[in-house]
């Protein structure tokens, strides 16, 4: 087993690291303070091919796979967690799902813009009373002959009020549970009947826009149905097994940011005449962070390798997501302890790390749900897709 990077992967890592340091790092604290989203960063990512992983070159893909995508996302999210959403929101969410289930016309209309960054993407699943239980959603789409009429509310949608195009999951056959849900492509700039409301009161992810979407007799063209009618639940689960790679990688990257920061501080901060890193309790905390961080990163790369090779990956993705979440939350807590009183100050990034880490416990499947997925597959109660 080779744990090294190929020349091409090393190139990807260097490019993503340089981009993050040049284009994202200078604005992190300003954007956090102002809760500001810089759309131009997404466009620049598209220009460099950082949104084109796993998709065909004829549609704007970059010809590289999951492993390369995770390597790039890791470098970006390590600098600012909010920007890990760009790859999931454009690439591994809408673009990849449209490529898998869409018509040729849908692919040509939407995918190139999503990959070049001229379009901002999103996907809408969660509702005020629908989280882990996707089949309980109430947003509905009614066939009106020449169009669909959509009514309902989605909430906690990443990029919901800033996006141009997104996937929407809605009920098309009431009373059939997960067998009555369909997926639609929404052109938000040309769809009447949609109100998009920013959600500002969040614990973290302040530079990543989050929204509530209200559909009131929204008119959607018939040709914007994605895949087969009433097959939306299956499409949704397929999509989540891809976008969760973004969660897993982003969590692992945040864990690494906490570790790097704690190590730097522990070598600079002096107490009792020596750097605090010389004290055994600090060393024990650093060691804990290293173990969890390395495990999270390797589990991400294993899941990416499985996906690149067309092998069942659902259990591996959930394992990587859960491990990354635990490493990020624990790493942020330990970093704040190591920084001491300064960790509680806005002078250092510990508060941001801790706020941002908590998202991973609920986003795209709670930790409880991922424990169930992992265990049910291992016990043979569910297939590993």
Of 369, 274, 267, 356, residue with least CA distance to 322: 369
How far does Cα 263 stand from its chain's mean position? 27
pLDDT for the residue 3 = 84
Query: 122-230: same fold as 7-119?
Result: no
With a cut of 90, say whether residue 165 has pLDDT above it.
Answer: yes
Q: What is the mean pLDDT of the chain?
A: 96
For residues 117 and 51, the answer to whether their CB atoms sit within 8 Å is yes
pLDDT for the residue 2 = 77
Domain 122-230 has CATH 1.10.645.10: no
pLDDT in tens, 72-118: 999 999 999 999 998 889 999 999 999 999 999 999 999 999 999 99
Contacts of 280 by beta carbon, 8 Å cutoff, 6+ apart: none
Locate 169 and state its tokens: 């999951």
| φ, ψ (nearest 5 deg) of residue 328 | -70, -45
Would you kindly state where each structural domain of the chain is located, as residue ranges? Answer: 7-119, 122-230, 234-379
Of 96, 93, 66, 223, residue with least CA distance to 159: 93
Secondary structure percentages of the chain, helix, strand, coil, to 5: 60, 15, 25
pLDDT for the residue 332 = 98
Q: Which residues is 213 bridged to in the sheet? A: 154, 196
pLDDT in tens, 178-229: 999 999 999 999 999 999 999 999 999 999 999 999 999 999 999 999 999 9
pLDDT in tens, 19-77: 999 999 999 999 999 999 999 999 999 999 999 999 999 999 999 999 999 999 999 99
What DSSP character marks residue 205? Answer: -
Locate 367 and state its tokens: 């930790």
Percent of the chain clearing pLDDT 70 (strictly above) = 100
* CATH code for the part of the protein at 234-379: 1.20.140.10
With a cut of 90, say whether residue 240 has pLDDT above it.
Answer: yes
Question: CATH classification of 7-119, choosing from 3.40.1280.10, 1.10.274.50, 3.10.180.10, 1.10.540.10?
Answer: 1.10.540.10
pLDDT for the residue 326 = 97
pLDDT for the residue 267 = 97
pLDDT for the residue 88 = 87
3-state SS class at 18: helix
Check 68, 116, 212, 364 and give the catalytic one: 364
In the residue annotation, 364 being an active-site residue is answered as yes
Contacts of 180 by beta carbon, 8 Å cutoff, 6+ apart: 171, 172, 173, 174, 230
């Amino acid at each position: 087993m080779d744990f090294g990077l190929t020349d091409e992967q090393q190139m990807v890592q260097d490019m993503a690291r340089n981009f993050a340091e040049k284009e994202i790092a200078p604005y992190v604290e300003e954007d956090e303070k102002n809760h500001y989203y810089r759309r131009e960063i997404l466009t620049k990512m598209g220009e460099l091919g950082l949104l084109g992983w796993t998709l065909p070159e004829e549609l704007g893909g970059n010809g590289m796979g999951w492993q390369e995508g995770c390597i790039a996302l890791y470098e970006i999210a390590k600098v600012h967690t909010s920007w890990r959403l760009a790859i999931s929101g454009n690439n591994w969410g809408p673009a990849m799902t449209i490529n898998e289930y869409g018509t040729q016309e849908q692919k040509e209309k939407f995918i190139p813009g999503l990959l070049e960054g001229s379009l901002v993407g999103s996907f809408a699943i969660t509702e005020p009373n629908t989280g882990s239980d996707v089949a309980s959603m109430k947003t509905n789409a009614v066939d009106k002959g020449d169009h669909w009429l959509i009514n309902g509310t989605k909430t906690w949608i990443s990029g919901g009020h800033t996006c141009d195009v997104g996937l929407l999951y809605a009920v098309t056959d009431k009373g059939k549970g997960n067998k009555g849900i369909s997926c639609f492509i929404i052109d938000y700039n040309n769809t009447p009947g949609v109100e998009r409301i920013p959600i500002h009161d969040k614990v973290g992810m302040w530079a990543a826009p989050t929204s509530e979407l209200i559909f009131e007799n929204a008119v959607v063209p018939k040709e914007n149905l994605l895949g087969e009618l009433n097959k939306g639940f299956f499409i949704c689960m397929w999509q989540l097994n891809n976008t969760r790679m973004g969660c897993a990688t982003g969590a692992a990257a945040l864990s690494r940011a906490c570790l790097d920061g704690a190590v730097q501080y522990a070598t600079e901060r002096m107490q009792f005449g020596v750097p605090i890193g010389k004290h055994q309790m600090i060393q024990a905390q650093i060691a804990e962070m290293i173990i969890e961080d390395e495990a999270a990163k390797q589990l991400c790369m294993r899941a990416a390798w499985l996906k690149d090779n067309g092998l069942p990956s659902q259990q591996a993705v959930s394992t990587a997501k859960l491990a990354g979440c635990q490493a990020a939350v624990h790493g942020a807590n330990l970093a704040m302890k190591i920084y001491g009183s300064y960790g509680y100050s806005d002078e250092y990034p510990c508060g941001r790390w801790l706020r941002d880490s908590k998202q991973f416990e609920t986003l795209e499947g709670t930790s409880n749900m991922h424990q169930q997925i992992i265990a049910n597959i291992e016990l043979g109660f569910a297939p590993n897709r």
